[in-house]
Amino acid sequence: MPVLNGFEMLSLLKHQPKVVFTTAYDQYAIKAFEEDSIDYLLKPVETERLEKTIKKLQQFQHQPPVYLPLETLIKQLQLKKDIKTLTVKIGDKILLIKLDSIIYIEAEDKYVFLHTADGKKHLTDFTISSLEEKLPEAFVRIHRSYIINSEHIKEIRKSFNGAFVFVMNSAENTRLTSSRSNCEALRERFGI
């Protein structure tokens, strides 16, 4: 598996799936069973051995499913809070910036700025990732450094490398280029 191995992937899951490890290495068998795997198949897998594993899996079909605690399910289903403003500290003052006035959000080094319709650039204490989680659906992450307010898009242009250039409805007609990794999601989101 690229990036993670099977054990690392399992550790990230919130529920425990039924797992059969299939690998060419026998040294991980004990660890696999410590992780409550159903079986451990060595490659090349022999037909008889595979049939035994299938029988084991069929036995587990008749067991009742393990349900996640109700609290966990509720947290997973909670919708984003309906926020209307973001706070910006300036000296001893706290400004409330209305979401509909934000054209785009930019991460620059360790700083995150809110660019508003009045042409101002406000420094915020939020990270771009935390903003991505808390902002409503109108805000779209197009690049690791940019979140745009889709209600302020003037036009979308295709770029030479497969990315998109978003021309924002600002006094400067700001142009923001998406990352290529976001292209497919953006194509689907905007029906391009």
User: For a pLDDT cut of 90, what percent of the chain falls above it?
Assistant: 31
80 located within any domain: no
* CB atoms closer than 10 angstroms to residue 26: 9
The stretch 4-32 carries a mean pLDDT of 78
**Residue 157, H or E segment:** strand 153-158
DSSP 35: T
* Same-domain status, 96 and 179: yes
Predicted pLDDT of residue 182: 79
- CATH number of the domain within which 43 lies: 3.40.50.2300
Number of domains in the chain: 2
What are residue 4's phi and psi, to 5 degrees?
Answer: -110, 150
Residues 35-45: tens digit of each pLDDT = 778 888 888 88
The stretch 124-151 carries a mean pLDDT of 91
Residues 66-100: tens digit of each pLDDT = 555 555 555 555 545 578 899 898 888 999 999 99
Q: Are 163 and 187 in contact (CB under 8 A)?
A: no
Domain, as residue range, for 65: 6-75
Distances (CA, A) of 130 to 86, 112, 147, 185: 12, 11, 11, 20
